[in-house]
Amino acid sequence: MNIIIRDLRFTYPTGLEALRGISLTIAPGEQVAIVGQNGAGKTTLVKHLNGLLQPTQGSVHIGDWDTRQHPVSKLAVRVGYVFQNPDEQLFSQNVGMEVAFGPKNLGYPAEKVDALVKDALALTELSEKTETNPYDLSSTWRKMVALASIISMDTDIVILDEPTTGQDAVNVRRIAHVIAALRERGKTVITITHDIDFCAENFERVIAMSQGQILLDGPANEVLGQEEILATTYVDPPQLTRLGLRLGLKETVRNQEEFLTAIRK
């Protein structure tokens, strides 16, 4: 299902205008990374997709639904949002209950709930931890519980707000694996990230934001090659991309494979 955002503006009650005219279309099954400096408006933007925030001006459509005409509880059928901080999201006594809460709440029959929970736990490597209280887990695993509790709802659209922040290399790989699995299932995945290598390795489309507006939006290689524009929103291209630019490679490269291919030419 398409996400269509038209000239979206949003002002917080404090009077701060956090989004200043965002227009954006995301097609079904696209994997998009959103980058940009702190305070650029990334979280404010994605909170409009599941109705946590409503446009001050402009509109947000999730498929044929205008978010202003559907409550958060209904939008949850279409859009799953993994909070940056799992502690804002988790509340159940154990991992199994936490991951089952979403699909139960959507009113799915018990058998379907069981199947969804099992699948989400397996994907996030939590199958052995169903009886554990999320608060007895490390912050790394709490992150995975937050992820699992959204995956179990099987929404067409999944939003991850800074999933890799504060995570070790092993967990970053786990999260990349989950994103790859969601891609194979045809899910739309929108990920806010500060980790530019993670962005380069896992996303084909990159959106760079600054001060409530979109600076760049396009294929990862094109966007990540715009070193000067990215610098205005405090984003450095990946190291290999910068090295490629220094070397004067004709194509922008994102990873070792692309780098070596370009060098051989």
Q: In angstroms, what is the minimal distance from the CB of 194 to ligand ADP?
A: 9
Q: State the binding partner of 38 from Mg ion, ligand ADP, none, CB within 5 to 8 A by kind.
A: ligand ADP
* Cβ partners under 8 Å of residue 77, min gap 6: 106, 153, 155
Q: Give least dist CB 50 to ligand ADP, A.
A: 14
* Interatomic CA distance for residues 135 and 246, integer angstroms: 47
247 binds, among ligand ADP, Mg ion, none (CB under 5 to 8 A by kind): none
CA distance 28 to 8: 20
Q: What is the closest distance, in whole angstroms, from the C-beta atom of residue 157 to ligand ADP in the complex?
A: 18
Residue 111 CB partners (closer than 8 Å, separation 6+): none
| Partner interacting with residue 12 (select from ligand ADP, Mg ion, none; CB below 5-8 Å by kind) | ligand ADP
Pick left, alpha or beta for residue 229 (phi over 0 → left; psi -120 to 50 → alpha; otherwise beta): alpha
Beta strands (DSSP E) in 68-119 are: 79-82
DSSP 102: H
The pair of three-digit structure tokens given for residue 211, joined into one six-digit string: 């001060």
- Which residue, 133 or 211, has its beta carbon nearer to ligand ADP? 211
* Min CB(199)–ligand ADP separation in Å: 14
Nearer to ligand ADP, 161 or 258 (CB): 161
Using CB under 6 A, list all residues that contact ligand ADP.
12, 14, 16, 18, 36, 38-44
Q: Residue 69 binds which entry of Mg ion, ligand ADP, none, with Cβ cut-offs from 5 to 8 Å by kind? A: none
Taken as a whole, the chain contains a residue count of 265
Q: Residues 13 to 42: which contact Mg ion by CB under 5 A? A: 42
The reply to whether 43 sits near Mg ion by the rule CB under 5 A is: yes
In the bound state, the residue with its beta carbon closest to Mg ion is 43
Residue with Cβ nearer ligand ADP (188 or 233): 233
Q: Which does 44 bind (CB under 5 to 8 A by kind): ligand ADP, Mg ion, none?
A: ligand ADP
Structure tokens of 11? 């002002």
Least distance to ligand ADP, CB of residue 103, Å: 28
Report how far residue 55's alpha carbon sits from residue 53's, in angstroms, rounded to the nearest whole number: 7
| CB of 7 vs ligand ADP, minimal distance in Å | 18
Residue closer to ligand ADP by CB (options 17, 119) is 17
Give the residue with the Cβ less far from ligand ADP, 44 or 67: 44
Q: What is the 3-state secondary structure (H, E, C) of 126-167?
A: CHHHCCCCHHHCCHHHHHHHHHHHHHCCCCCEEEEECCCCCC
Query: In angstroms, rounded to a whole number, what is the distance separating the alpha carbons of residues 22 and 212?
Result: 8
Nearest approach in angstroms of CB 158 to Mg ion is 17
Q: Pick the closer one to ligand ADP by CB: 18 or 75.
A: 18
Rounded to a whole number of angstroms, the distance between the first and last alpha carbons of the chain is: 40
Give the residues lining the site for Mg ion (CB under 5 A).
42-43
